[in-house]
A and B are shown apart, each in its own frame.
Chain A
Amino acid sequence: MAAKRRLSSRKNRIGYIFVAPFCFGFVFFLLIPIIQSFIFSLNEIKLGQSGYTLTYLGWSNYIRAFQVDPTFRMDLVQSIGQMLLDLPIILFFSLFSAILLNQKFHGRTVARMLFFLPVIVSTGIMVMMESNNPVYSMMMDRSVADAAASMKESANSMELVLSLLGDGLPAPLMDYLVQVIGRLYDIVIASGLQILIFLSGLNTIPPTLYESSNIEGATAWENFWKITMPMVGPYFLLNAVYTIIDSFTNMNNVVISTIRGYIVSFSDFSYGAAISWIYFGIIFLILGLLTALISKKVFYYE
C-alpha cells in the first residue's frame, strides 16, 4: 500500500512539468509587473535613455485622484453602476439563450453560429470603433443614427406599453427595464462568451437526471429549478466573474480610457498607475464579495 502511494505521488509529481511554464510566467509577467506598477504609483517616474528613474512621492497620487481630479470619482461611480446594472441582465439573457439554443429545432446550427458571431467579430478595436463612432456624433452615418433614433423611439414606445401594463410596478424598476431595452444591442454583444460557457455547462448535466424526474412526473418548470439551476450553478459564478472583468477592462469603459490616456501615452504614468490601482482594488473587492455570495448558494457536483 505504502509502495503504491509512493509510486502514485511520484507519478503525480510529473504534473509540475506541465504547470511549470505557467508558474514561471505568472511570477515574471504578472506578479512582478503588478508589484512594479504599485511601486510606480507611489513614485514619480521619469523615462530616460536607459530605463527610468523614480522619485518617491508617497500617497499623493491617490489623494489627488479623490480630492483634486474633477472627473475621476464621477467616472468611477458611473462605470461601476453601469456594470452592476448590466450584470444580472447579461447573466439572465445568456442563460436564457443557452437554454433555447440547447433545444432541438430547425435552423439551430445557423442560430448558434449567429449568436456566437459577436465573440468572433466584436473584440478589441472593433468594439471600440463600433461605439466610439465619430460619424455618429456628426449624424453623417445616417443609417446608424437612424437606427439609434428608431431604437430610442421604440424604447419610448416600450415605456408607454410598460407603463400601461405595469401600472403597479415601482418607478425604478420601470426605468431599469426601459434602459435595458435601449441597451439591448450592447447586452447581446457582451454575452457571446457567457452563452458559450452556459451551453457547455448545460451539457454537463447527465440526461438520466431528466429522464428519471420525468418518470416521476415532474414538470418542465420543476425540472428547471430542481435540476438545471443547481447544476449550472458553478457556471453562474464563472460567468459573473468573467462578465465583471470584461466590462471593467473593456476599452469603452470611461475609467479605462482615462487610464489608457495617462499610461499608454506616458503622459503621467504614475498617476495612471495610481488610479488603476484604485479602480482594480474596487473590482477585486466586488469580485470577492460576489464570489463569497454566490459560492454559498452554489452546489458543486463532482
Chain B
Amino acid sequence: MNNRLAYRNRKEFAVHLRRKGVPLLLALCRTIFIMGICFLILYPILTKISISFMDQRDLYDRTVKSVPKHFTPSNYPEAIQLLNYWKAIGNTALLAGVNGVIQGFMCIATGYGLARYRFKGRGLVFGLMIVSMVIPPQLILTPLYLNFQNFDPFGIISLFTGGKGLRLIESFTPFILLSITATGARNGLYIFLARQFFRGFPHEIDEAASVDGAGWARIFFRIMLPGAASIFIVIFLFSFVWQWNDSMYTFLFYTDFETIAKALTNLESQFAHIQVEGSAMASNIGYYSIMRATSMLLAILPLLGMYAIFQKKFIQSIERIGIVG
C-alpha cells in the first residue's frame, strides 16, 4: 500500500501501471512462450541423450523415466562400430564439404549477376530460378540418374567415343555437375538469398573500383567475393547440412559410397526386419531402440558442433541479408 500512496492520485497510478506494468507483463509472456518452444525443440535431443546412456534393463523398467538407473557409456562404442562411424562421417563430410563450397561459390556468382547487372532476359532468368525452387527433386531424380548413367548431351560425347555416353554415376561427378551449375537441391533458395544480399550491398564500392579501372572479374573476385563472406557461410551451412542428412541423391548417384545417412537407413531397415520376425527377436528390440537413439545422436553431433562454432556468424549474416542501403 505504501507504494500506492506515492502517487498523487489514482490517475497517475494508472498511467504508471500502463507504462511499466504492461511491458513487464508482455516480457513475461514472451519469456514463457520462448522457453516453451525451446523446450519443445530440445526435448527429442534430450530424450535421445538419456536413452543413449541407458542399459537395456532401464528401458523395461517403468520407474526409470529420464535418468538411467544403470548408467552405461558402452552404447557409444557399439553404435560407432555398427554405423562404421568414422568412415561414414569422413565420407559424408568430404562430399558435403566439396558440395557446400562449390554451391556457395556458384550461387553467389549467380545471385550477383542477377542483382547487379541489368542484362536482357534478367526477368526470365529470375523466373527460371523461382521455377527451380519449385521443381520437386523426386520428379527429376530418375531421369537424371538415367542421364548420368549415359551422359551424352546433344550426342557430343558419343561422337568421340563412338556411340556410347559417359558413365558418371558411382562417382562424385553428378554431385559436382549439379553444384557447378547451381541446380542441386534447394539451390534456387540459395541464389535467392545471395541476390537479396547483393541488392543491399553498397554500390559505391564497385563504382569506385570501376572508376579506378578494375575490370568485372577483378571487382567480383577482389571486392564482391570477400564482401560476401557472411552469405557464403549461410549457404555453405545450409548446403552442408542438407547433404549430410540426404539419402536420396547419394543412394541413386553413388550407391557404394558409405555416408552417415545411408548407415542410418540401413540400421532402420534392419530394425524393420526384426519387427517382422516377431517375438522371437523381442530381446533385440530394446537393443535396437537404444542403438537407434545413440546413432541418431552420433550422426547429428558433428552438425551440432559446427552450428555451435558458426551460429553467431550465421545469425548475424541472416539478419544482414535483408538490410537495404
Contact = CB atoms under 8 A, between A and B. Distances in A.
A124 B125 contact: no
A113 B311 contact: yes
Interface residues of A, number: 96
Nearest to B303: A120
B78 interface: no
Contact of B41 (A117, A123, A196): A117
A3 interface: no
Interface residues of B, number: 107
Interface in B139-167: 139-144, 146-147, 149-150, 153
Given A140-B59, A140-B285, A100 B323 contact: no
A271 interface: no
B315 A16 contact: no
Given A120-B241, A129-B264, A143-B66, A15 B118 contact: yes
B139 A34 contact: yes
Nearest to B240: A120
Contacts of B248: 124, 251, 264
Most chain B CB neighbours (cut-off 10 Å) among A12, A15, A126, A269: A15
Interface in B109-162: 109-110, 112-114, 116-119, 122, 125, 128-129, 131-144, 146-147, 149-150, 153
Interface string A188-203: 1100000010011111
Contact of A124 (B177, B245, B288, B319): B245
B177 A263 contact: no
A18 B314 CA distance: 25
Interface in B42-70: 42-45, 47, 50-51, 59, 62, 65-66
A276 interface: yes
B97 interface: no
Contacts of A251: 248
A224 to B, nearest CB: 13
A25 B141 contact: no
A116 B315 contact: yes
B14 interface: no
B265 A284 contact: no
20 contacts: A17-B113, A22-B125, A22-B182, A23-B125, A25-B177, A26-B181, A29-B178, A30-B131, A33-B147, A110-B38, A112-B315, A125-B264, A129-B292, A132-B268, A135-B289, A140-B59, A143-B51, A146-B65, A203-B321, A287-B134
Interface of B: 27, 30-31, 33-34, 37-38, 40-45, 47, 50-51, 59, 62, 65-66, 106, 109-110, 112-114, 116-119, 122, 125, 128-129, 131-144, 146-147, 149-150, 153, 177-178, 180-183, 189, 191-192, 196, 200, 216, 220, 237-238, 241-242, 244-248, 251-252, 261, 264-265, 268, 271-272, 275, 285-286, 288-289, 292-293, 296, 299-300, 303-304, 307, 311-312, 314-315, 318-324
